[in-house]
Amino acid sequence: MQLAVPSASGAFEPADPAIEVEALTKRFKGVVAVDDLSFAVARGSVTGLLGGNGAGKSTTIGMIMGLVLPTSGKVRVLGIDMLRERHRVLARMNFESPYVDMPHRLSVRQNLEVFARLYGVAEIDARIAHLASDLAFEDLLDRPSGQLSAGQKTRVALAKALINEPAVLLLDEPTASLDPDTADWVRTHIENYRGGRRATILLASHNMREVERLCDRVIMLKQGRIVGDGSPEELLARFERSNLEEVFLDLARGRRQAQ
Amino acid sequence: MNNGFSLGRVGAMVRRYVYLLRSSVPRILDLVYWPLVQMLTWGFLQTYLAKAPAAGPIAGRLGLAAGALIGAMLLWDILFRSQLGFSVSFLEEMWSRNIANLMMSPLRISEFILSLMVMSLIRLAIGIVPVSLLAIWFFGFNLWGLGLALGAFFANLVLAGWGLGLFVSGLVLRYGLAAESLVWTMMFLMLPLACVYYPVTILPPWLQVFAWALPPTYVFEGLRALLIHHEFRGDLMAEAFGLNLVIFAAAVIGFQLMLENARRAGSLLQTGE
């Protein structure tokens, strides 16, 4: 895949992809986790990275964030090379993962305040109050973060991910281990944020309903390679299936090959 | 948008560590507890040795009456606590699985390191100030009475503590909490070699070479020179400072390399308890 060419001035243009991945490969001690991956994510879109355990979703997200160094390949976010200049764009990104936590002894308010300061948020109290109201955890603000339930933690983690109103939001299994009601609630807020901000969202998940509901486009991964790429409707038509779960099972079990 | 060094982000991190410290009374008490126990133990031992009839002239030569033992103990605690203050704040991030949040934020490594240094000083002050004041009351040893020399001792010991703290934190970053025990134990490797309670000349000649490679050795020799011979050895302090700068710079490079290694191994997303 050819990366989008920046404008003549070298500046990032609205039409340029928000995320560009080119020939991205990651090997861990000889094991290939991500294998020559190339894709571009359009600005303002929600793209799902779908795949089973070990498909390479989290590693790909980690490389896009710059937390994992690729063995080879390139990543650009908002036109910035993440391997060389990631500090130029980090203030305009954020992420959420159930596998990353915040200090348990700090209250929710203190945790959010510290992140707001790290991201250079101007009106910190107002921003925290807005997020707490929007995500319905006003009553939790002064509770130690370690005393929250899984659902409450997810809401606070989402607030942390939205604290700087990121233009690019990376979500790694945002509803993992949540009950259906809370998961639905979280998805609604992700949809609302995308709609309100025209943010670009890249979502790693193995929850088919989540992906069908949220994503304009789905990239299916298996053993670190793309085995399907298109809108949910296109994938269903291409695989002649009625839902993404059946498509996923076909691909996971090798019943069909990408076309 | 500020892409360069930001004191605001350093302040944000210090604020976080102060919140963390404030949230746990046992941890605050712990900062005072061990220095106090150490001070009392060494203080009473010194009093006993100074008063023992058989020790008479020897005690005088060793500067026991002048507080050589208790002074050395307090300086050792400055060294040890400055390293712990640095590394424990870092460990807080690992324990709470927060390191990926930080590395993904605009926080720069230099800002992170500076915040750990500031927090080390805060934790050190909480532990050492009350204990040093109690040493005056209990044993008549006034650490503050060392005057400008104390400033030179303090700067060199704290810099040495930060250097080791940074190196050990890098190891924890790279190898995860499996390497946590190094935070608590590595400094004790320095205890016999830095000649905290005895002169360097006591060591076999081949070991003296290693002792003089450690900046704290110069400080403890300097303390004995001051208390026993009433002489401030500026030359020793200058040598210690030069050595400290080299070691600290090496620790910064080592930390950066281990961070790169952790990114290569993908371990920043897998750290935690």
Closest CB to A87: pick one of B3, B98, B264.
Answer: B3
Chain B residues whose CB is inside 8 A of the A93 CB are 104
- Kind and range of the H or E run holding B81: helix B68-95
Decide if B257 touches A, using CB distance below 8 A.
Answer: no
Distance from CA of B95 to the nearest CA of A (A): 8
Indicate the average pLDDT of chain A: 87
Residue B61 binned pLDDT confidence (cut-offs 50, 70, 90)? low
pLDDT of residue A242: 85
Q: Tell me how close the Cα of B263 comes to any Cα of chain A, in angstroms.
A: 5
The tokens describing B72, both together, are 């050395």
Among the partner-chain residues A93, A101, A105, the one whose CB lies closest to the CB of B20 is A105
Token pair 């355990």 is at which residue? A53
Look at residue A7 and tell me whether its pLDDT is greater than 80. Answer: no
Does residue A173 or residue A164 have the better pLDDT?
Answer: A164
Question: Is B272–A110 a contact, with Cβ atoms under 8 angstroms apart?
Answer: no
Q: What is the pLDDT of residue B3?
A: 67
B 10-29 residues with CB below 8 A of A? Answer: 11-13, 15-16, 19-20, 23-24
The tens digit of pLDDT for each residue in B230-252 reads 899 999 999 999 999 999 999 99
Q: For B172-201, what is each residue's pLDDT tens digit? A: 988 888 888 888 888 898 899 999 989 999
Whether residue A110 and residue B16 make contact (CB cut-off 8 A), yes or no, is: yes
Identify which of B16, B96, B106 has the shortest CB distance to residue A91.
Answer: B106
Q: Quote the pLDDT of residue B105.
A: 94
- Cβ pair A26:B266 closer than 8 A: yes
Q: Does A117 touch chain B (CB under 8 A)?
A: yes
pLDDT in tens, B122-154: 999 999 999 999 999 988 888 898 889 999 999
Residues of A in Cβ contact (< 8 Å) with B104: 65-67, 90, 93-95
Give CA–CA dist A151/A182, Å, rounded: 6
**Helix and strand numbers, DSSP H then E, in chain B:** 12, 0
How far, CA to CA in Å, does B161 sit from each of A145, A200, B168, B218? 32, 45, 11, 14
Inter-residue contact B241 to B160 (CB < 8 Å): no
Q: pLDDT at residue B4 above 80? A: yes
Q: Which of A67, A106, A113 sits opposite B269 (nearest CB)?
A: A67
User: What are A63-80's pLDDT values in tens digits?
Assistant: 999 999 999 999 999 999
- d(C-alpha A60, C-alpha A39), whole Å: 11
Please answer yes or no on whether B98 and A58 come within 8 Å at the CB atom.
Answer: no
Instruction: Classify residue A125 as exposed, middle or buried by CB count within 10 Å of its CB (0-12, 13-18, 19+).
Output: exposed
Q: Is the pLDDT of residue B273 over 50?
A: no
Closest of A38, A19, A37 to residue A27, by C-alpha: A37
Contacting residues of A for B268, CB less than 8 Å apart: 62, 67-68
Helix residue ranges per DSSP H, B190-268: 190-193, 205-211, 215-229, 234-265
Share of chain A above pLDDT 90, in %: 53
Fold entry, domain A3-252: Rossmann fold (3.40.50)
Q: How confident is the model at residue A8 (pLDDT cuts 50, 70, 90)?
A: very low
Choice between B56 and A92, residue whose per-residue pLDDT is larger: A92
Tens-place pLDDT, residues B253-272: 999 999 999 999 988 876 54
Q: Are strands A217-222 and A46-50 parallel, antiparallel or unpaired?
A: parallel
Separation CA A218–CA A248 (nearest Å): 11
Decide if pLDDT at B210 tops 90.
yes
CA distance B265 to A244: 33
Q: A139 vs A102, A108, A119, A148, B169, CA distance in Å?
A: 18, 10, 24, 11, 36
DSSP conformation class of A256: S
pLDDT at A1 over 60: no
CA–CA separation, B101 vs A255, rounded Å? 39
Residue B12, pLDDT > 80, answer: yes
- Which chain A residues touch B92 with a CB distance below 8 Å? 103
Across chain B, mean pLDDT equals: 89
Contacts of B264 in chain A (CB under 8 A): 68-69
How many other C-beta atoms are found inside a 10 Å radius of the C-beta of residue B124? 26
The CA radius of gyration of chain A, in Å to the nearest whole number, is 18
Asked if A28 and B272 come within 8 Å (Cβ–Cβ), the reply is no
Instruction: State the pLDDT confidence band at A11, using cuts at 50, 70 and 90.
Output: low
- How does pLDDT run across B13-22, given as a tens digit for each residue? 999 999 999 9
Measured between CB atoms, does A1 come within 8 Å of chain B?
no
Q: Name the more confident of A198 and A4.
A: A198
Tens of pLDDT, residue by residue over A212-248, are 889 999 999 988 999 889 998 888 888 888 888 888 8
